Chain A
Amino acid sequence: MRYLAISILLLLLVAPPALAAEGGGTMPVYSIQVRAVPLAELEDGMATYRRLRDEGYLAYASRVEISGEPWLRIAVGVFRSRGAAAEFGRAFGAAEGLEHFVAPAPVRVLPAADEREFVVTPSALWVRGSGGVREVFAFDAEAPNGSGLPAAILPVLSSDGRTLAAIYNCRLLVAAIDGDAAVDATDAPGGPCVTTVSDQNYGWRPGWSPSGDYVAFLDQALWEYEIGLWLARSDGGGLLCLACNRHGQSAVRWFVWHPSEDRVLFVEGSSLGTIPVGGGLFTADVDGTIRTIIPADPSVGWEQYEEIAGPLRIEDGFLHFRRVRWLDDNYIETSITEDRLPIGAL
C-alpha cells in the first residue's frame, strides 16, 4: 500500500510545472580544460585551481571517473560555444602559458538583471558582468566536488533576475546580483537543515514571490518525514516557518505564491504515507496566519474522502490543482481529476 501511495505521488509530481521551476538555462556551455590529475595528486591540481582563481579567472575543479579511476579536472571560463571558448583560450594561453583545450563544462549559466549572469560551477557560485567575475560563494574551498553540482543545489533565479536561491550543505543560500557574498537565510535560531536529495525526493524548488522580495522553500523532501514550509526575505533575513508539522507528522507537499504576494498557497497532508498522496489546500499569509481552503478529512469514509494534489499552478486567473479520490475501501484504485478555483476567491 505504501508503495502504491508513493507511486501515485511520483506520478503526480511528473508534470510540466516542474520544468517551469527549473529557473535557468541548461544550454550547453564550454570551458578550456587546463589540467587533469589523478585524485591522488589532488593537492597539485587544487593549487593550480586556487592560483587561477586568485588571479581573477573563473576557474573551477571537478572530480570525474575516467576508466574507473577518480581524476581531478581544472577548467577555466564559461562560454556558449566552442569557438568562443577557443577565442578565450587563445588569450589565456598567451597570458598564462598553460596548454589547454576546449571541453564541455559542468556549469550552469543563469542570465540575470543588468546584463549580468549567475554562473554555478562545481566549485563556486559566481556573478559576472562587464566589470569582470566575482566569486560569491565557494561550495567547498578545499575539496573538489562531484559532477552532481551544479544541478544538485537547485539554483532558482528571482523573476526580476536580481537574486538567486540555492540549497547547499543544509542551508538555503540567497545571492544578490550586487552583493559580495551569498547569505545563509537559514542561519537563525530554529532554522532548518534543508535537504534536497533522496531516492524518492520531491521535485520541489525554492519559489520566489512575484516581485522577488521573498523566497519560500521546503525544509526537506523525504517521503514520510515531516516537511515544513518556510519563508525568508531576499536579503536573507526574516526567516519564518509558515507551516511546520502543525498536526504532528504533517508534510507540505506543494506550494505556489499568490499573485498578491502576501500569501502562499500550499497542500499539506499527513506524512504517514500509507494512503495520503496530498492533503488539504491552505493559504499562509507572510506573517504566518493560516486559513483552510479545502480540508482533507478521512473521517468522512473512503467514499467521500478526497485529497488535493499538486503541482499547484496559477494561470488565467485560476489556481489549478488536482483532486484525488479512492474507488475502493482498500484505497488502491484512484480517480484523479483536474480542478481549479478563481484566484480572486482565495
Chain B
Amino acid sequence: MWRLPGPCGLLALLALLAVESTSAAEGGDPSTVYSIQVQAVPLAEAEDGMATYRDLRDKSYLAYAYRVEINGEPWLRIAVGAFHSHGAAAEFGRAFGVAEGMDHFVAAAPVRVLPGAGERDFVVTPSALWVRGGAGVREVYAFDAEGPNGAGLPADVLPDLAPDGRMLAFAHGCRLNFAPVEADAAVITTDSSDGPCTPYEGELPWQLDWSASGEHAFFLDVPYSEYPVSLVMARLDSGEVRCLICNEGGDRAVRWFVAHSSEDRVFFVGAQAYGMAISGSGLFSTNMDGVVRALAAPGEHEEIVGPLSIEDGYLRYRRLRWLDFANSWDSEVTDERIPLDAL
C-alpha cells in the first residue's frame, strides 16, 4: 500500500497512469538501431534533401528523412537502412557506397524495428512504415510523403504489435491504422472521428490491447483526461469497427481496460468524464455486443483504478481511498484481485 499526496485528483490520476504509460510506450524491441546518414541540409534547402530521399526510396532503399535542431537551426537529415549494430550498418554502407557513389557514415537511427511473423520486421522510420523480409523491403504507409517529420516519430505513432506478430497497429492523422505483415499497404480502419490523435504531454496515455489470437483490437477513441472516452473494438478479419462502450456526447469515460483471453469480453474501469477528483468509479465487464455487467463498486470516498491486468488466473486492479477529501487530498492505493472463474 502507498499514498499519493496529490493536491488534486487530476495529478493523482496522472500519477497512476504513469505506471502504465512507461511500458506501453516501449512498443517493441528497445535496442538501438543504426543507419548510414547520406546527406544533411539546412531546412531552407529541404527540397534538395527530399529529392535525395525520394530518389533512394524509389530505388527500393529503406530511406527516410527527418528534421533535427543543430545549434538552434533546423536541418534535414537523409539516412538509409536499419541495422542492429554499428558494424552491420557499416557493412551495408560498404556496398551502398560502391553502388550509389555517396559519402556516408554510420549514425544512430530514430527508427524502431519490431520483429514480426514469418521472419519479417516492421520498420517504423520518421518517414514511413516498412515491412522487410528475405525478399526485400516494402513501404506500406507514408507518414508524410512531402514534408520531413520531426524526431517525435516513430514513438508518436504508438506502434503496437499483435501477439502473433502478423499485424501492427499505429496511430496517425487521428486514425488508427493496421498493417498486415503480408499486405502491400496499411489498412486505415478508423476515420478521424473515432481514432486516437497523438497524445499531448500530460494527457492520458492512449491504450490499445490485442485479443490473444490477434483477431480483435480494442482501443480508446481519444486520449484526453476530461473528455468522454469510448471503448472501441476492431475486428481485423472483417474490418468492422464498433463502439463497445459509447460515451461520445455523454459524461462518462473509460479509463483502463484489458481483454479476457476467451475473446468474448473486455474488463474496464468506468469514470466520470468531467471533474477534478474522479479517477475511476467502478469495474465492469462488457461482451462483444456491448452488454455491460458491474464487477466491483467503490465504497464511500473510494475509486477503482487501473492499470488492469490478467495474471495467474486473476483480474488485478487497484482501489484508491481518499483520506482527507476536504483538506489535503491525501490518498492511499491498495492492490486487489478477483478470480477470473468468478467473473
Q: Are A81 and B115 in contact (CB under 8 A)?
A: yes
Q: CA–CA, A101 to B133, complex, Å?
A: 11
Of residues 55 through 104 on chain A, the ones whose CB sits less than 8 Å from some CB of chain B are 56-58, 77-96, 101-102
Q: CA–CA, A96 to B106, complex, Å?
A: 21
Q: CA–CA, A23 to B184, complex, Å?
A: 41
* Residues from chain B with Cβ under 8 Å of A109 in the complex: 85
B86 contacts which of A81, A116, A119 (Cβ < 8 Å)? A116
What's the A-B contact tally at a CB cutoff of 8 Å? 128
Q: CA–CA, A91 to B59, complex, Å?
A: 10
Q: CA–CA, A10 to B120, complex, Å?
A: 41
A335 at the interface (CB under 8 A from B): no
Q: Are A130 and B86 in contact (CB under 8 A)?
A: yes
A115 at the interface (CB under 8 A from B): yes
Of residues 171 through 212 on chain B, the ones whose CB sits less than 8 Å from some CB of chain A are none
Q: Are B92 and A87 in contact (CB under 8 A)?
A: yes
A132 contacts which of B94, B131, B132 (Cβ < 8 Å)? B94
Q: CA–CA, A133 to B93, complex, Å?
A: 11
* Residues from chain A with Cβ under 8 Å of B61 in the complex: 87, 90-91
If A115-B85, A117-B87 touch, whether A86 touches B100 (CB-CB below 8 Å) is: no
Q: Are A85 and B134 in contact (CB under 8 A)?
A: yes
If A81-B115, A96-B98 touch, whether A87 touches B137 (CB-CB below 8 Å) is: yes
Q: Are B95 and A57 in contact (CB under 8 A)?
A: yes
Q: Are B105 and A91 in contact (CB under 8 A)?
A: no
Interchain Cβ contacts under 8 Å between A and B, 17 examples = A80-B83, A86-B135, A87-B136, A87-B137, A88-B91, A91-B98, A93-B99, A95-B97, A96-B98, A109-B85, A116-B86, A128-B88, A128-B90, A129-B90, A130-B90, A132-B94, A133-B94
Chain A residue total in the interface (Cβ 8 A): 38
Please give me the residue from chain B that is nearest to A85 by CB atom: B134
If A82-B119, A82-B134 touch, whether A129 touches B87 (CB-CB below 8 Å) is: yes
Q: Distance in Å from the Cβ of A204 to the closest Cβ of chain B?
A: 29
Q: CA–CA, A42 to B134, complex, Å?
A: 27
List 11 additional A-B contacts (Cβ < 8 Å) besides A92-B95, A96-B98, A128-B90: A79-B88, A81-B121, A82-B133, A83-B134, A87-B62, A87-B81, A91-B92, A95-B97, A128-B87, A132-B91, A133-B94
Q: Are A84 and B86 in contact (CB under 8 A)?
A: no
Q: Taking each of A87, A102, A115, A119, which has the highest tally of chain B beta carbons within 10 Å of its own beta carbon? A: A87
Q: CA–CA, A79 to B33, complex, Å?
A: 12
* Residues from chain B with Cβ under 8 Å of A190 in the complex: none
Chain B residue total in the interface (Cβ 8 A): 39
B287 at the interface (CB under 8 A from A): no
* Residues from chain A with Cβ under 8 Å of B88 in the complex: 77-80, 84, 88, 128
* Residues from chain A with Cβ under 8 Å of B113 in the complex: 81
Q: CA–CA, A171 to B23, complex, Å?
A: 48
* Residues from chain B with Cβ under 8 Å of A131 in the complex: 90
Please give me the residue from chain B that is nearest to A89 by CB atom: B136
* Residues from chain B with Cβ under 8 Å of A129 in the complex: 86-87, 90
B96 at the interface (CB under 8 A from A): yes
B134 contacts which of A77, A86, A93, A115 (Cβ < 8 Å)? A86
A111 at the interface (CB under 8 A from B): yes
* Residues from chain B with Cβ under 8 Å of A94 in the complex: 59, 95, 99-100
Q: CA–CA, A344 to B178, complex, Å?
A: 59
Q: Distance in Å from the Cβ of B58 to the closest Cβ of chain A?
A: 13
Q: CA–CA, A57 to B92, complex, Å?
A: 10
* Residues from chain A with Cβ under 8 Å of B81 in the complex: 84, 87
B293 at the interface (CB under 8 A from A): no
* Residues from chain A with Cβ under 8 Å of B94 in the complex: 56-57, 132-133
Q: CA–CA, A93 to B98, complex, Å?
A: 10
Of residues 275 through 320 on chain A, the ones whose CB sits less than 8 Å from some CB of chain B are none
B3 at the interface (CB under 8 A from A): no
B261 at the interface (CB under 8 A from A): no
* Residues from chain A with Cβ under 8 Å of B89 in the complex: 130
Q: Are B91 and A86 in contact (CB under 8 A)?
A: no
Q: CA–CA, A115 to B115, complex, Å?
A: 22
A115 contacts which of B59, B86, B96, B98 (Cβ < 8 Å)? B86
Q: Are B96 and A91 in contact (CB under 8 A)?
A: yes
Please give me the residue from chain B that is nearest to A101 by CB atom: B134
* Residues from chain A with Cβ under 8 Å of B98 in the complex: 91, 95-96
B167 at the interface (CB under 8 A from A): no
B213 at the interface (CB under 8 A from A): no
* Residues from chain B with Cβ under 8 Å of A84 in the complex: 81-84, 88, 92, 121, 132
B328 at the interface (CB under 8 A from A): no
Interface string of B122-164 (1 = CB under 8 A from A): 0100000001111111000000000000000000000000000
